Amino acid sequence: MSQQGGDYIAPTGSRLSAPVPEGWEAQITAYERGEFSPVSPKHAATVVLLRDGAGTPPDVYLLKRAASMSFAGGFYAFPGGRVDPRDADADIAWAGPSAAQWARRFGSDEAEARALLCAAVRETFEESGVLFAGADEHSVVADTTDEGWEADRRALVSRETSLAGFLAKRSLVLRTDLLGGWSRWITPEFEPRRYDTAFFVAALPAGQRTRDVSGETESTIWMQPRQAIDDHIAGRALMLPPTVTTLREVHGFGTAEEAVASAADRPLKPIMATVRKHDDGSWHLEWEL
């Protein structure tokens, strides 16, 4: 779904709204008439990386997706992507809240919850070089920038290896306690490409550095959430409503750890837009948060 700068309307209470992108009226009308069969959404995960600044709220890491991408090309987003079936591997070394605990929060089974957490960790490493794993439940790797790490990252991207194989090779355990479950967004039923995406927040681990390594991006940037929102409103940065909403929600925390800690109490019920036709004939997308 395309959202141009300035189209996004700030939330009022627990509801937010945005005009339907130009050219979508016919598709939505067909959907309303029952002439459009919704496709099943693919599971995906994304991570909002936060980095503490000097006397300022945490910065957030954003990727500008390549214009050639079939979904949200040219838009700013957080690192993330689709679940690989192997992400559900029960043999993955694990530290932190269990798959069963995450499943209760997501309202899913353990395999689905495990896949979402593993996809979040794998995709973040693939797209930024940041890895939420350590030798044990008390440690996290401090540097992932040498050629050996880069070779492993490329093997994950190409699917030559799985996350389980990568972690086992390096005797690492997944640190799920470093991730805070933030929200879950499902693409509206009338869209041709649909995703059921779990959003997580996480602090950049000490010693690690982000790298512009993804072949799916034009550029990367660390910036203040408020600036990113302002750039979107001014039309300088295209973003989907879930991205803008998440930026609004993380803005104002004093530290990255405060944001991650606050995630423990957040509901992870699915958020999906509905459509409503206004009296003036215009269509709007609406979300209940």
Look at residue 2 and tell me if it is in a domain.
Answer: no
Amino acid type, 145: T
CB 285 within 8 A of CB 273: yes
Q: What pLDDT is attached to residue 67?
A: 64
Packing angle between helix 147-157 and helix 110-128, nearest 10 degrees?
130
Q: What pLDDT is attached to residue 187?
A: 87
CA distances from 20 to 1, 206, 241, 256 (A): 9, 42, 12, 34
Number of CB atoms found within 10 A of residue 70's CB: 7
Look at residue 3 and tell me if it is in a domain.
Answer: no
Look at residue 4 and tell me if it is in a domain.
Answer: no
Total number of domains in the chain: 1
Look at residue 1 and tell me if it is in a domain.
Answer: no
Q: What pLDDT is attached to residue 260?
A: 97
Hunting for tokens 């109490």 — which residue is that?
265
Q: What pLDDT is attached to residue 140?
A: 97
Q: What pLDDT is attached to residue 110?
A: 95
Look at residue 221 and tell me if it is in a domain.
Answer: yes
Residue 69's contacts (CB-CB under 8 Å, 6 or more residues apart) are: 216
Low-confidence ranges of the chain (pLDDT < 70): 1-15, 21-23, 67-73
Look at residue 223 and tell me if it is in a domain.
Answer: yes
Which domain range does residue 214 map to? 9-288
CB 59 within 8 A of CB 223: yes
CB 22 within 8 A of CB 53: no
Amino acid type, 217: T
Look at residue 59 and tell me if it is in a domain.
Answer: yes
Angle at 196 between CA 194 and CA 202, to 5 degrees: 130
Euclidean distance between the first and the last CA atom of the chain, given in angstroms as a whole number: 18
pLDDT in tens, 217-237: 778 999 999 999 999 999 898
CATH number of the domain encompassing residue 273: 3.90.79.10
Question: What DSSP string runs through 197-214?
Answer: EEEEEEEPPTT-------
Q: What pLDDT is attached to residue 190?
A: 78
Residue 154 per-residue DSSP state: H
> 195-198: which pairs have CB atoms within 8 A and are 24 or more residues apart?
195/41, 195/42, 195/43, 195/44, 195/82, 196/41, 196/42, 196/43, 196/44, 196/270, 197/43, 197/44, 197/45, 197/46, 197/80, 197/242, 198/43, 198/44, 198/45, 198/46, 198/106, 198/116, 198/120, 198/268
